[in-house]
Copies of this chain bind each other. A is one copy, B any other.
Amino acid sequence: MSAPAAAPMFRRVALIGLGLIAGSMALAMRESGLAGRIVGYARSDETRATAREIGLVDEVTDSAAEAVAGADLVVLAVPVGAMGEIAAEIAPHLAPGAILTDVGSVKQSVIEAVAPHVPKGVHFIPGHPLAGTEHSGPRSGFPSLFRNRWWLLTPLPDSDPAAVARLTELVRALGANVETMEPAHHDLVLAVTSHAPHLIAYTMVGVADHLRRVTDDEVIKYSAAGFRDFTRIAASDPTMWRDVFLHNREATLDILGRFAEELFVLQRAIRMGDGQHLHDYFTRTRAIRRGIIEAGQDTAAPDFGRAGKE
């Protein structure tokens, strides 16, 4: 990270929602002196109390309106399904010239929900950091969360290029790499790389949960054979993910439909004893893993580096 700047990039930053993403932004901005003052708000009393207790931001307000008043950057970091309501609530209090962004995992539905409320003179630039862990809540953030991760921006046709450049600069200062894309394309790409895999992991863990009742605690005991990787993904925040699936419905169902087709073809190959088909398929998928490691998106260390350390 760079040394604290002489002058902060934003005078007052308002974080609406104080979970993993907002908390990590607060810690990273503070570490790098990017914000003059960081103010936060969360709907839950408990979250606000925790944020105050650990000093996550400079000030925790009891309303979203108070938080955004006078802010030159406002970040909506709430579940996708809550974006519209909170946008309506803060809209009258947004300062002219402010940048308004969000960190939602779905872009088209957030734009539909938020854009109609944004006053003229406020720059709404939707965004999505591809960063996170299976943990959630105000205690789960850490300043390096965004380092070397992608942060996708989906500017609107009338977005002010200067405002987009300013937000891009901030995101880069948090350690992330920035790309811009069309909102619909974002939602398709994420359906493949994130939303469908999450639903599949949830499903497999649910199947095992039913069977666990038959085989006692064996599923947990012997999970290291592959299953435990699914359980990490399936431990992600239920509210956030409920909203993702409901709000990226079409793209997710499209990918899940393709997945079910492929699964049936492989099941049939197993049933018919078609070893050649299975071997060819598994050889192709192995190559993708190599691509990911070569692209610097994961470690080549065996078992994510877990092996031999336990």
Q: A residues within 8 Å of B by Cβ? A: 81, 130-135, 140, 142, 144-145, 147-150, 152, 185, 188-190, 192-212, 215, 217-236, 238-239, 241-243, 245-246, 249, 252-253, 255-260, 262-264, 266-267, 270-271, 273, 275, 278-279, 281-286, 288-292, 295, 297-299, 302-308, 310
Is B150 a contact partner of A222 (Cβ separation < 8 A)? yes
Is A226 a contact partner of B198 (Cβ separation < 8 A)? yes
Name which of A210, A212, A239, A286 has the most chain B CB atoms within 10 A of its CB. Answer: A286
Name which of A281, A290, A295 has the most chain B CB atoms within 10 A of its CB. Answer: A281
Is A304 a contact partner of B302 (Cβ separation < 8 A)? no
Known: A144-B308, A223-B295, A253-B271. 6 other contacts (CB 8 A): A193-B226, A199-B270, A200-B200, A209-B285, A238-B278, A246-B270
The chain B residue sitting closest to A296, CB to CB, is B310
Complex: A101 Cα to B31 Cα, angstroms: 56
Q: CB < 8 Å: which of B140, B206, B212 contacts A281?
A: B206
Q: CB < 8 Å: which of B190, B200, B210 contacts A225?
A: B190
Is A295 a contact partner of B217 (Cβ separation < 8 A)? yes
Name which of A142, A210, A258, A288 has the most chain B CB atoms within 10 A of its CB. Answer: A288
A274: shortest Cβ distance to chain B, in Å? 9
Is A193 a contact partner of B134 (Cβ separation < 8 A)? no
Q: CB < 8 Å: which of B217, B225, B264, B278 contacts A194?
A: B225
Q: CB < 8 Å: which of B234, B279, B282, B297 contacts A224?
A: B297
Is A238 a contact partner of B207 (Cβ separation < 8 A)? no
- Tally of this chain's copies: 2
Do A192 and B219 form a contact, CB below 8 Å, given A207-B255, A255-B207, A286-B235?
yes
List the B side residues contacting A302 at CB < 8 Å.
133-135, 140, 142
Complex: A282 Cα to B147 Cα, angstroms: 28
Is B307 a contact partner of A232 (Cβ separation < 8 A)? no
Q: CB < 8 Å: which of B142, B227, B263, B285 contacts A205?
A: B285
Q: CB < 8 Å: which of B149, B206, B231, B242 contacts A292?
A: B231
Is A223 a contact partner of B292 (Cβ separation < 8 A)? yes
Q: CB < 8 Å: which of B207, B215, B221 contacts A259?
A: B207
Is B286 a contact partner of A221 (Cβ separation < 8 A)? no
